[in-house]
Amino acid sequence: LPIVVLISGGGTNLQSIIDAAAAGALPVEIRAVISNRADAFGLERARRGGIHTEVLDHREAPDRETYDRLLVELIDRFDPGLVVLAGFMRILTPELVAHYSGRMLNIHPSLLPAFRGLHTHRRALEAEVREHGASVHFVTPELDSGPVIVQARVPVLPGDDAEALAARVLAQEHRIYPLAIRWFAEGRLRLNGGRVWLDGA
C-alpha cells in the first residue's frame, strides 16, 4: 500500500512506521514524508530511511485554503492509498479532509472523545483521571472527532508530570499506529456510515 506521511516535529510515530515497514511487519511503501516545517527532525529520520521528503511551509501560503490546495496537489503527486498524519500540527480545511475521506488517519494522544485538542497530558493530570492513552482515528472535518479505530490505555501514576505521562503514551502510540495502518493495508478497515468495521483476519 503506497502511503504519504505528514509531520511537523520529532517524528517518533513516523519512525515506528519506518521501522515496522523495514522489518516486513507493515505492507506499505512510504512514497514521501511531507512537513510544514523545514526544521522537523522527522525529515532527518526520513532521509536516514532513504525516503523522499518534501517541505511545504505554511508561511508561504497567503491563507489556509491556498495552503491546503497546494498540499493536496503535493500529496496527490505520490498517489497514496492512505495519508497518515503523524504529529502534523495543522488544522485541515474541510475540502482537504473530504478529498481524503476514508483514507486519512490521525493519532491523538488521549482516549478520545476525552481531551480533544492540545496539551492533552497536562489536561489529563489536571482532571486527575486515572487512565489516559492514545487513539488512532479516521480524519473527519471536526478536529479529533473522527471514528476511532484503536485505542491504547496507560495508567496515570502518582508523581506523574506531563513529560512522564507523555512518554508512557508515546510508547503506546508506536504500538497502535503501525497496527491500524496494517489493518488498513490489509483491506480490513472500512468506514461505514461513520462506524469503523474491522473485518476478520
Q: Does 10 bind ligand GRF (CB under 6 A)?
A: yes
The nearer residue to ligand GRF, 69 or 162, going by C-beta atoms, is 162
Quick one: which segment of 8-16, 63-71, 92-100, 153-161 binds ligand GRF (CB under 6 A)?
8-16
Quick one: which segment of 4-12, 19-27, 60-68, 183-191 binds ligand GRF (CB under 6 A)?
4-12
Which of 12, 55, 129, 147 forms a contact with ligand GRF (CB under 6 A)?
Answer: 12
Which of 87, 133, 146, 178 forms a contact with ligand GRF (CB under 6 A)?
Answer: 87
Binding mask 169-188 for ligand GRF (x = CB under 6 A): -x--x---------------
Q: Does 140 bind ligand GRF (CB under 6 A)?
A: no
Strand partners, 154: 132
List of E strands, 38-147: 53-55, 82-85, 104-108, 131-138
The Cα–Cα gap between 157 and 76 comes to 44
Query: Mutual orientation of helices 41-48 and 12-22 as an angle, nearest 10°?
Result: 10
The Cα–Cα gap between 28 and 103 comes to 14
Please identify which residue in the block is written with the cell numbers 479529533: 144
Query: How would DSSP label each residue in 123-150?
Result: HHHHTT-SEEEEEEEE--SSTT-SPEEE
Which positions touch ligand GRF (CB under 6 A)? 7, 9-14, 42, 86-87, 107, 109, 170, 173
The residues carrying an active-site annotation are 108
